[in-house]
Structure 1
Amino acid sequence: MSPSKRLFVFDFDWTLIDADSDYFVFEHLSAELSKIQLDSIGKVQWTDLQQRLLGELFDRGVSREDIERTLASIPFAPERIEALKLMKEQGSDLYILSDANTVYIETVLKAYNIDHLFTGIITNPASFDSRGRLNVTRYHGLDKQPHQCPLPCEPNLCKGLELQKLIDSHPWEQVVYMGDASNDFCPSTRLSRERDDLVLARRGLSLETRIKERPELVKAEIVFWQDAQDVLEITRDIFFGRNRTGVAFLGSSLGSTAASSTTSLSTMVESSSSASSAVDSLSIDEVKTSSQVLSAVESSDSKMFAQAVKA
């Protein structure tokens, strides 16, 4: 297989980095706003919430330099960086497909001097204004018709649609998607076994759960991973044929947990629920007391801190 024909697409939070970038910023810069952020899960659309809280952060005197310095301290495991460099050295195209934002992702990548490894970043647009206030907007805005994906995608971003655009843009010989959360399930369903595609799902988080609930929707081979060393070993296996012992899990039954050294893995995975929904303009006080409930996906999985603790 020609290495120039491979496409790697990555989620960002709890996949490339060992943190949730949205939570990390507020945890380190404002304990009060961090609590509001956690208390608002499932009550306000996540990207809209970040925009409002970033305004509060600016009003409290937090500067652009404070945000950038905090982002630069987010942990990025050296084994993952080694894996990314290997992918690039082998001529692959690397993309990030994330519900974070451009400023967060680009700042972290530059801090670790790996921004040049990526062909593109698909995420919510963000920028600092002339005062140093960070603004974030939805990738799929309220000015557009809802994407109407029936799978658990956030209303601001259907990762499956965006991955499909990348797949259709070139005659790839292999596509590899790596993620951890419920909104990584939709892109996982866009891959093909005939093309030897791979889904790299982080073990113990909601992508694994969803795959096991709806295995018939995921056609590609699935490899579960737990940490950065696993990612590096899987990457070496993709290019050099090493065994996936202790990383991949094989079984025709969904309950199988036996470690396998084979490179033939069966599919396993999950029930879908619909994403929602337009959100009214709320002040910070309204955010604190809002009773508006979004979809089950956003309530249980949209940047869920409980999920982050498990990773």
Structure 2
Amino acid sequence: MSPSKRLFVFDFDWTLIDADSDYFVFEHLSAELSKIQLDSIGKVQWTDLQQRLLGKLFDRGVSREDIERTLANIPFVPERIEALKLMKEHGSDLYILSDANTVYIETILKAYNIDNLFTGILTNPASFDSKGRLNVTRYHGLDKEPHKCPLPCEPNLCKGLELQKLIDSHPWEQVIYMGDASNDFCPSTRLSRERGDLVLARRGLSLEQRIKERPELVRAETVYWQDAQDVLEVTKDIFFGRDRTAAALGSLSGSTAASSTTSLSTMVDSSSSSSSSSSSSSSIVASPVDEVKPSSTQVLSAVESFDSKMFAQAVKA
């Protein structure tokens, strides 16, 4: 493995896909169980809850084919796929680090023919039994000692611990972590400014709030993004540099394309830099979380708008 490789690590729900896979399955296959899922927030550990509800879903006659077909209908925005392919084409290693499960993630990736882009997937194990019942278990099982992370990680998965293992496995040129929710804060604290690492945080969700509450814990540069086009432009900036990206866009469609593009320099929160006391004219410091308004392409449901998946993950704390 080349020592110059970059490592990209992604959360999955509301990061790679614009949906929550746990919610999506029950919303589309059983309104009754979907309500139970929401009513159980804060009462049952989230992974254990999914295991129970999947059993009830099976008892109601929902088949493996029904689940796989539903998962294949979860949207995966083309610009994100283009960004992932660009990362892979430039020799990067891509990992998913998620509190979903292996069946959900692998089924969705295969539906879009992009499963071959990823080096590994770290998430809760899942499999169908011989009768077609889907079973999900904790990544960090009850048979193990608690990970005891003091940050907002869930008992079944400390993302920071798993990211650190990946970082320690190779002398990476750069590490980039992308997420949206509270349990993405811990891995964000494991990155290094000296190596030029980046945290790509989705605007308006709780990772942004956590970073702004404890900026001293996040040493890497933070870049805020809102939609798939933002992610694609940040990816181009990482590999081609801001000047080259702007020039390429300008040559394709003139000033219109250039003016509609958000480059890396305009998405960096300059307040995250210990060497900067104020933002420069080329930087936009993110607005307070309660002032961030999603675009028309990022309208979340009443539940998801609180914190994407992490609204439900209050049950995991």
CA distance in 1, matches of 2:311, 2:272: 32
Gaps of 5+ in 1: 271-299
Which amino acid letter does the alignment assign opposite residue 112 of structure 1?
Y
CA distance in 2, matches of 1:90, 1:26: 38
Partner of residue 91, structure 2: 91
In the alignment, is the contact (CA less than 8 A) between 2:97 and 2:121 conserved in 1?
yes
* TM-score, length-scaled by structure 1: 0.82
CA distance in 1, matches of 2:120, 2:158: 17
Query: In structure 2, the residue corresponding to 1:303 is in which secondary structure?
Result: helix
Q: CA RMSD in A?
A: 2.8
CA distance in 2, matches of 1:304, 1:197: 24
In structure 2, the CA distance between the partners of 1:83 and 1:156, relative to structure 1 (3 Å rule), is same
Query: Normalized per residue, which structure has more helix?
Result: 2
Query: In structure 2, the residue corresponding to 1:9 is in which secondary structure?
Result: strand
CA distance in 1, matches of 2:36, 2:105: 23
CA distance in 2, matches of 1:19, 1:302: 8
In the alignment, is the contact (CA less than 8 A) between 1:101 and 1:136 conserved in 2?
yes
Q: Deviations over 1:31-62 (max 9, x none)?
A: 00000001111111000000000000000000
Partner of residue 71, structure 2: 71
- Tell me by how many angstroms 1:268 deviates: 11
Partner of residue 145, structure 2: 145
Residue 249 of structure 1 pairs with residue 255 of structure 2: no
In structure 2, the CA distance between the partners of 1:74 and 1:42, relative to structure 1 (3 Å rule), is same
CA distance in 2, matches of 1:6, 1:229: 21
Which amino acid letter does the alignment assign opposite residue 267 of structure 2?
V
CA distance in 2, matches of 1:39, 1:18: 23
In structure 2, the CA distance between the partners of 1:260 and 1:51, relative to structure 1 (3 Å rule), is farther
CA distance in 2, matches of 1:53, 1:220: 39
In the alignment, is the contact (CA less than 8 A) between 2:20 and 2:308 conserved in 1?
no
Partner of residue 274, structure 1: none
CA distance in 2, matches of 1:268, 1:147: 34
Query: In structure 1, the residue corresponding to 2:309 is in which secondary structure?
Result: coil
In the alignment, is the contact (CA less than 8 A) between 2:222 and 2:272 conserved in 1?
no
- Tell me by how many angstroms 1:244 deviates: 2.1
- Tell me by how many angstroms 1:258 deviates: 7.4
In structure 2, the CA distance between the partners of 1:42 and 1:237, relative to structure 1 (3 Å rule), is same
Which amino acid letter does the alignment assign opposite residue 268 of structure 2?
A
In the alignment, is the contact (CA less than 8 A) between 2:268 and 2:285 conserved in 1?
no
CA distance in 1, matches of 2:308, 2:40: 11
In the alignment, is the contact (CA less than 8 A) between 1:8 and 1:93 conserved in 2?
yes
Percent identity, please.
86
- Tell me by how many angstroms 1:173 deviates: 1.2
Query: In structure 2, the residue corresponding to 1:194 is in which secondary structure?
Result: coil
Which amino acid letter does the alignment assign opposite residue 218 of structure 2?
V
Partner of residue 165, structure 1: 165
Which amino acid letter does the alignment assign opposite residue 205 of structure 1?
L
Query: In structure 1, the residue corresponding to 2:216 is in which secondary structure?
Result: helix
CA distance in 2, matches of 1:217, 1:267: 18
Partner of residue 234, structure 1: 234
In the alignment, is the contact (CA less than 8 A) between 1:125 and 1:137 conserved in 2?
yes
CA distance in 2, matches of 1:240, 1:51: 44
* TM-score, length-scaled by structure 2: 0.81
